[in-house]
Amino acid sequence: MAAEIVNPRSETHTDQEGGAEPLDSFDPAFALHRGGKMAVQATVPIRDKDDLSLAYTPGVAKVCTAIAEQPDLVHDYTWKSSVVAVVTDGTAVLGLGDIGPEASLPVMEGKAILFKQFGGVDAVPIALACTDVDEIVETVVRLAPSFGGVNLEDISAPRCFEIERRLQERLDIPIFHDDQHGTAVVTLAALRNAARLSGREIGQLRAVISGAGAAGVAIARMLVEAGIGDVAVADRKGVVSADREDLTDVKRELAGFTNKAGLSGSLEDALAGADVFIGVSGGTVPEEAVASMAEGAFVFAMANPNPEVHPDVAHKYAAVVATGRSDFPNQINNVLAFPGIFAGALQVRASRITEGMKIAAAEALASVVGDDLAADYVIPSPFDERVAPAVTAAVAAAARAEGVARR
Q: Active-site residues: which are they? A: 56, 111
What is the rounded distance in angstroms from the CA atom of residue 370 to the CA atom of residue 130? 45
- If we measure between CA atoms, which residue out of 209, 212, 152 comes closest to residue 182? 152
* Sequence-distant (≥ 6) Cβ neighbours of residue 312 within 8 angstroms: none
What is the rounded distance in angstroms from the CA atom of residue 101 to the CA atom of residue 93? 10
What is the rounded distance in angstroms from the CA atom of residue 36 to the CA atom of residue 125? 11
| Long-range pairs, 286-295, Cβ under 8 A, ≥24 | 287/313, 287/316, 290/314, 290/316, 290/317, 290/318, 291/316, 291/317, 292/268, 293/317, 293/318, 294/206
- Please compute, for residue 33, the number of CA atoms within 13 A of its CA located in the half-sphere on the CB side: 15
For residue 24, the SS3 value is helix
End-to-end, the C-alpha distance of the chain in Å comes to 50
Q: What share of the chain is helix, strand, coil (3-state, %, to 5)?
A: 50, 15, 40
- If we measure between CA atoms, which residue out of 240, 287, 242 comes closest to residue 265? 240
What is the rounded distance in angstroms from the CA atom of residue 371 to the CA atom of residue 187? 19
The torsion defined by the Cα of 125, 347, 169 and 354, in degrees rounded to 10, comes to -110
Angle, CA 211 vertex, CA 126 and CA 206 arms, to 5°: 125
Tell me the CA distances in angstroms from 77 to 4, 68, 204, 215, 249, one per residue in order: 33, 12, 50, 37, 43
Tell me the CA distances in angstroms from 122 to 79, 147, 202, one per residue in order: 9, 10, 35
Angle, CA 183 vertex, CA 178 and CA 189 arms, to 5°: 130
For residue 318, the SS3 value is strand
Q: Using an 8 Å Cβ cutoff, are 186 and 362 in contact? A: yes
